[in-house]
Chain A
Amino acid sequence: MTSREPILVIKDLHVAVEDKQILKGVNLTINKGEVHALMGRNGSGKSTLGYTLMGHPRYHITQGKVLFKGKDLSEMTADERARAGMYLAFQYPVAIPGVSVSNFLRASVKAVRGQDVPVKEFRKELKEHLTKLGVKEDFLSRYVNDGFSGGEKKRLEILQMALMKPQMALLDETDSGLDIDALKTVSAGITALAGPEMGILLITHYQRILNYVTPQFVHVMQDGQIVLSGSGELAHKLEAEGYDFVTKEPAVATQSRT
């Protein structure tokens, strides 16, 4: 089915913020073409993993390592990772007042693609994505996430992903705060972008989005570790029974490939 070529390999990852240990030995491998869901209670360390993979300077790797396309990530700054094909859709996208969405997108597309896109072509490309995501064109002249509703923020995250065409997408609670229609649109956007060359890590603490974006693998994080991994079915079990049963079962230090 998939080529089984690893795109992201996380080995025994320990991460601290300001001397506070948050991740305590995460192991996870994501191959090309795979969609993985990472679930777990609030505060279990899911966003920390996303920030660390993207290279937030405040999150320090204290042990273990991460290979992205075979390359040690610790050598790369966040912008280098982005240009190499890593993408993080933020749980809480940051507002950049005074910077219009269109200027911002042009700058980032230029940086990621390594060259300027002709204005006309870029406009056309943007318009197509806007239509698909169901957003009006005046969106482009508004300031990045400044006064955006939750749904608008999440749509902008997906729009950026569509333009940047990453090889590894980390989607941190992209489903939270969306009504059902928005959830469908955003999920359709994600599904449309997924492909055989791309890896997706879908971080969520609800099962809801998994009805629209089907993961092959589901992992449960607790207290900075992946304590349970399984197939897509696991998500349904979690939905039905909650996270309580996880604690009772012994931790399964499995790799997703098993």
Chain B
Amino acid sequence: MNSDVHTIARETIEDLALKQKTPSWTKDLRLASWEAYLQTPFPTTRDENWRRTVIESLDLSTLKALEFAPSTSGADKSFPACFQSVIKHFSQANSTLSGICYQGNGRPGYIELSDEAKSKGVIFCDIETALANHADLLQPYLAKRNASKENGKFALLTGALFNCGLFLYVPKNVELKSPFVSGIGISTCANTSGDFGGAIFPRLIVVAEPESNVSLVHLTGSADTAGDNDCRSLPASLSASMVDVFVSDGANVSFVELSQFAQNVYAIGTVHNEVARDGKFTAVNVALGGKQVKSDIYTHLQAQGAASEILGIVLGSHDEHYSFNTIQEHNAPDTKSDINFRVALKDNASSVYQGVIKVDKCAQKTDAYQSNKNLLLGAGAKADSIPRLEILADDVKCSHGATVGPVDPEQLFYLASRGLPEKIAEELIVLGFFKKVLDKLTVDGAADWLVEAVSQKIDDSGYCA
């Protein structure tokens, strides 16, 4: 039923493509990625991009791709607690959500679309349904980077095997105030059978046509546990995801993402955000768990007036490792990018942040900002911050800054003098450290939800538990 990842042959992909009611080009698309995958060597820690990410220990032959059923409306709404909490927060802050999509392996998928979104011609569905019903519309967006080798081995695997994911399409001039909420949950603890871990390959495509305005909240992670120790001895599992966001002229997209995997999961993500003339892209990436969590986030500012703001929040504990690489590409004049990554590490958790600002020769008047702050809470915690500037234009404003260190002892003393024991004081300071970044979010309900998720991880109670 679930297929071995490592023994995947041409036929497996042909089967996968056949099984779905999808046009024949999807088979070619998957195969092209598969072939590129075969030609791409497995990464090692010597690769600059993979510093400290211990990936050699991941044996693909121990993985089976998990199965997802297409989403239907009216399906079972008994979501895992963490997804319930997302719905609760955003429903409280917004009268009606624009849409809800939930996918979990071994359970029916759920989909719901508001009347407003429907009447305005919005498409919001899982990727398989999109291939069956909106293939022509989806094709160019899906194909654009599906087999691109620069994304590396894991994204290519996703390109070949994607088995869950999302298509959100917002037509021209459509503005939706309340967010779309999506979740992909895997049960890596319960569903690992014997020596095999589970693998998922989410593929997300967001298209905002000119002058549209939309926000998407996406939760991904282990639905059956969060951040605790129980899963560490279980077989390794994998989430390899690939996200492409297309922000057209004058469109405005907000993307709020929280990932929280159990400690037997390698979570590897590749994100491309493409912003056209006067488009605005805002994102927050919150990472709260996993064995090795790695994300490459590319922002391509393609035309004059394009702007992006990307916030990152990482809270690591135990032996978790996080690796975030952000690439801010200014490919046109008068573009603005802003990156703000905040990392706090407990126990022996570690993090490497690599931030690249690339300014093309033509991209005069670029305004690029990058900040990465790291708080080391645990005695064994480690953080590296590596900025890189590749600036070919001569009239630009670029600045970057990084800090790594423990919580300020003067802050701790101030709070202690108000009766707060060190642990509580530290939690308060760390939440504040994140809150300063979350304040920039404009999606109603997002900041509250994320603060709650973060505070549950800080005091070790776990988010989904």
Contact = CB atoms under 8 A, between A and B. Distances in A.
A99 B420 contact: no
Contacts of B414: 90, 93-94, 96
Contacts of A148: none
Q: Top 7 A-B pairs ranked by shortest CB distance?
A: A98-B432, A98-B435, A111-B419, A108-B418, A78-B416, A99-B432, A94-B414
A235 B425 CA distance: 39
16 contacts: A55-B416, A57-B413, A58-B409, A79-B419, A79-B420, A82-B418, A93-B414, A94-B413, A96-B411, A96-B414, A96-B415, A97-B433, A98-B433, A111-B420, A112-B418, A164-B418
A45 B411 CA distance: 22
Contacts of B380: none
A243 to B, nearest CB: 29
Nearest to B414: A94
Interface residues of A, number: 30
A111 B421 contact: yes
Contacts of A57: 409, 413
Contact of B418 (A58, A95, A97, A160): A160
A165 to B, nearest CB: 12
B428 A78 contact: no
Interface of B: 408-411, 413-422, 424-425, 428-429, 431-436, 439
Interface majority SS on B: helix, strand, loop or mixed? helix
A56 interface: yes
A145 B144 CA distance: 49
Interface in A75-132: 77-79, 81-83, 87-88, 90, 93-99, 103-104, 107-108, 111-112
A174 to B, nearest CB: 14
A186 interface: no
Contacts of A104: 415, 418, 428
A143 B428 CA distance: 12
Given A96-B411, A104-B428, A82 B435 contact: no
Contacts of A96: 411, 414-415, 428-429, 432
A78 B431 contact: no
A30 interface: no
Given A78-B417, A95-B411, A98-B436, 6 more contacts: A78-B416, A96-B432, A97-B433, A98-B433, A98-B434, A99-B431
Contacts of B429: 96, 99
Contacts of A112: 418-419
Given A57-B409, A94-B411, A77 B436 contact: no
B432 to A, nearest CB: 3
B419 A108 contact: yes
A56 B419 contact: no
Contacts of A88: 417
Given A98-B432, A98-B434, A98-B436, A77 B424 contact: no
Q: Which of B410, B420, B421, B429 has the most CB of A within 10 A?
A: B420
A171 interface: no
A54 interface: yes
